């Protein structure tokens, strides 16, 4: 009786503690440490300065010379392959470089913090379609956003991940509200990092969202070519150089080297580095195993989505979550891009909210807590230890444990697939129960696209 009486108070105390820890951790790692300029920032400024000067950032020696002058030789050694972003991203970096790093960086930092706050409101709005958003939900979202590399890493490094998240999540809202043109425009904006759009394009093609796809492809073409035209750069040659750079991301000694014997490869978040470490090699065979695994998972997920394809004619959050998560595992990503896993984590949270009290609910809570804690841990604990003590990296066990955030990602994806399969088996005709289980008016249905009345 006493426990029941004081439980709400204890929940508030725990949530307050988590919020203070999350915000304090973010303030230190992203803002205070952010005053020490991260290597990526020099990379972006080098590209932006060359773009503003009319020079070619895709020429490796030109780029690395400028990068050395800004960040030093040690910084330039991280980027053996040079510059590999498309022209649309170069425009953003050129805006960075309109002023000196010391002058522009604090403003960039503030802008990214504001963007992170907007992402919070977008995700809270989406969650409100399914459950009331209270203190627990706010705490959950703030912990995800502030205490993982999505928040602290993107802000400190001025990385584009937060801006891309601010396109992908509203894209889901626009699709649900039958605004495919605007959704396609937002998806096209993610092409500033070309690893994001492909899986969504395939998904929306299968869902017959053709207007979204057409708008997206046209916009990608425009924002890729127009910057080259406006600055008088050769279109074909520039695109060839960009494609060549992107095909050479895995250069030995580069920051993106996927070798299982390089500690830094554990800092990636997609599946390939983990497979390389499990098979203790790199090359054609682990690549084939990786893509074979992704293909099998994609086909199975596609089958599950197809089984519920008539769900009111609207895209579902869990389907969107699975596509986002597979996109994270399939193509090159670093832990800046963890936001692609957030929809899956929200799915697990919503599943927990459905469960009655008991052992099953406790087990799911423990699972979600462990996954989130692992994702919030500094990504480079074992990697730094490996650099300091090379013998650590000689251990096969340590090499496969080192990418612990990839393991957590795989676990979260597996859990989301299990939830989706359970819904298919039980023949649910909608995703998570909407906040109202019946729809009495058209206006209600427009307000909550998930509130689809179950036949019979």
Please tell me the total count of domains within the chain: 2
Residue 42 — φ and ψ, nearest 5°? -65, -35
Residue 399, number of CB atoms within 10 A of its CB: 23
Supply the pLDDT for residue 57.
86
Supply the pLDDT for residue 4.
65
Which of 159, 22, 41 has its CA nearest to residue 103? 41
Sign of CA dihedral 359, 365, 371, 377: negative
The residue out of 191, 211, 246 marking a domain boundary is 246
- Tokens linked to 25: 């951790």
* DSSP string over 218-252: HHHHHHHHHHHHHTT--HHHHHHHHHHHHHT-S-T
161/140 Cα distance (integer angstroms): 20
Instruction: Check: CB of residue 152 under 8 Å from CB of residue 29.
Output: yes
Which value, in Å, is the radius of gyration of the alpha carbons in the chain?
Answer: 23
19 and 96, same domain (yes or no): yes
17 and 153, same domain (yes or no): yes
- pTM of the full structure: 0.86
Does 440 map to a domain? yes
Supply the pLDDT for residue 444.
42
196/112 Cα distance (integer angstroms): 19
DSSP-H helix ranges across 27-86: 39-53, 60-71, 73-77
- Name 261's Cβ contacts closer than 8 Å, sequence gap at least 6: 393, 399
Residue-level pLDDT, tens digit, the chain, 456 residues? 446 666 777 888 888 999 999 888 888 888 787 677 888 888 899 989 999 888 888 888 888 888 888 888 777 777 777 788 888 888 888 988 888 888 888 888 889 999 999 999 999 999 998 889 999 999 999 999 998 888 888 888 888 889 999 999 999 999 988 899 999 999 999 999 888 889 999 999 988 899 999 999 999 999 999 988 888 888 888 888 888 777 666 666 566 777 777 777 777 888 888 888 888 888 889 889 999 999 999 999 988 888 776 453 334 888 999 999 999 888 777 778 889 999 999 999 999 998 888 899 999 999 999 999 998 887 666 656 665 666 666 778 878 888 888 899 999 999 999 998 887 877 554 455 556 544 333 334 444 444 333 222
140 and 239, same domain (yes or no): yes
Supply the pLDDT for residue 2.
47
What own/partner pairs with CB < 8 Å and gap ≥ 24 does 215-223 have?
215/180, 215/181, 215/184, 215/185, 215/188, 216/184, 216/185, 216/187, 216/188, 217/188, 218/188, 219/184, 219/185, 219/188, 219/189, 220/188, 220/191, 223/87, 223/88, 223/188, 223/189, 223/191
Does 211 map to a domain? no
122 and 71, same domain (yes or no): yes
Expressed as residue numbers, the domain containing 367 is 259-456
137 and 97, same domain (yes or no): yes
318 and 448, same domain (yes or no): yes
Does 96 map to a domain? yes
Which of 200, 151, 163 has its CA nearest to residue 326? 200
User: Beta partners for 268?
Assistant: 334
Question: In whole angstroms, how far apart are CA 342 and each of 126, 148, 158?
Answer: 12, 11, 20
Does 63 map to a domain? yes
303 and 437, same domain (yes or no): yes
What's the start-to-end Cα distance of the chain, in Å? 41
Supply the pLDDT for residue 190.
93
DSSP E strands, 61-149: none
240 and 347, same domain (yes or no): no
Does 104 map to a domain? yes
The residue out of 246, 267, 294 marking a domain boundary is 246
Which of 314, 313, 301, 305 has its CA nearest to residue 174? 314
448 and 316, same domain (yes or no): yes
Instruction: Check: CB of residue 151 under 8 Å from CB of residue 166.
Output: no
Residue 232, number of CB atoms within 10 A of its CB: 7
242 and 275, same domain (yes or no): no
Q: What is the DSSP letter of 31?
A: I
280 and 164, same domain (yes or no): no
342 and 424, same domain (yes or no): yes
Does 394 map to a domain? yes
Does 399 map to a domain? yes
User: Beta partners for 334?
Assistant: 268
The residue out of 216, 246, 276 marking a domain boundary is 246
Supply the pLDDT for residue 424.
80
Supply the pLDDT for residue 5.
67
Does 228 map to a domain? no
């Amino acid at each position: 009786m006493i426990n029941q009486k004081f439980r709400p108070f204890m929940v508030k105390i725990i949530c307050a503690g988590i919020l203070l820890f999350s915000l304090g951790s973010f303030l230190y790692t992203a803002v205070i440490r952010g005053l020490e300029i991260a290597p990526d920032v020099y990379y972006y400024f080098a590209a932006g300065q060359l773009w503003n000067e009319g020079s070619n950032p895709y020429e490796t020696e030109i780029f690395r010379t400028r990068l050395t002058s800004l960040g030093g030789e040690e910084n330039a050694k991280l980027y053996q392959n040079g510059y590999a972003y498309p022209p649309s991203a170069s425009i953003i970096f050129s805006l960075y470089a309109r002023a000196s790093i010391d002058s522009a960086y604090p403003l960039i930092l503030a802008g990214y913090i504001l963007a992170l706050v907007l992402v919070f409101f977008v995700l809270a709005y989406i969650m409100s379609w399914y459950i009331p958003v209270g203190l627990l939900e706010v705490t959950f979202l703030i912990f995800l956003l502030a205490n993982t590399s999505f928040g602290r890493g993107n802000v400190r490094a001025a990385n584009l991940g937060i801006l891309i998240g601010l396109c992908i999540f509203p894209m889901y809202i626009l699709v649900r509200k039958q605004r495919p043109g605007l959704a396609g425009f937002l998806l096209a904006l993610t092409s500033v990092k070309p690893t994001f759009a492909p899986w969504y394009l395939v998904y929306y093609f299968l869902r017959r969202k053709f207007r979204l796809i057409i708008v997206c492809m046209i916009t990608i073409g425009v924002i890729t070519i127009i910057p080259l035209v406006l600055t008088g750069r050769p279109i074909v040659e520039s695109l060839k150089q960009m494609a060549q750079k992107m095909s050479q991301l895995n250069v030995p000694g580069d920051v993106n080297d996927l070798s299982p014997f390089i500690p830094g490869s554990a800092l990636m978040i997609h599946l390939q580095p983990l497979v390389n470490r499990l098979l203790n090699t790199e090359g054609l065979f682990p690549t084939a195993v990786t893509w074979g695994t992704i293909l099998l998972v994609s086909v199975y997920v596609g089958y599950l989505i197809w089984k519920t394809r008539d769900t009111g004619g609207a895209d579902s959050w869990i389907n969107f979550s699975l596509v986002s998560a597979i996109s994270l595992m399939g193509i090159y990503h670093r832990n800046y891009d963890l936001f692609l896993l957030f929809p899956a984590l929200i799915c697990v949270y919503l599943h927990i909210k459905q469960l009655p009290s008991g052992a099953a609910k406790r087990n799911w809570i423990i699972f979600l807590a462990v996954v989130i804690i692992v994702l919030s841990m500094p990504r480079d604990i074992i990697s730094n230890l490996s650099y300091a003590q090379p013998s650590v990296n000689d251990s096969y066990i340590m090499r496969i444990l080192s990418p612990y955030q990839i393991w957590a990602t795989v676990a979260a994806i597996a859990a989301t697939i299990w939830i989706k399969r359970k819904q298919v088996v039980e023949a649910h005709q909608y995703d998570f129960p909407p906040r109202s289980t019946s729809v009495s008016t058209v206006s209600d249905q427009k307000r909550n696209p998930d509130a689809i009345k179950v036949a019979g």
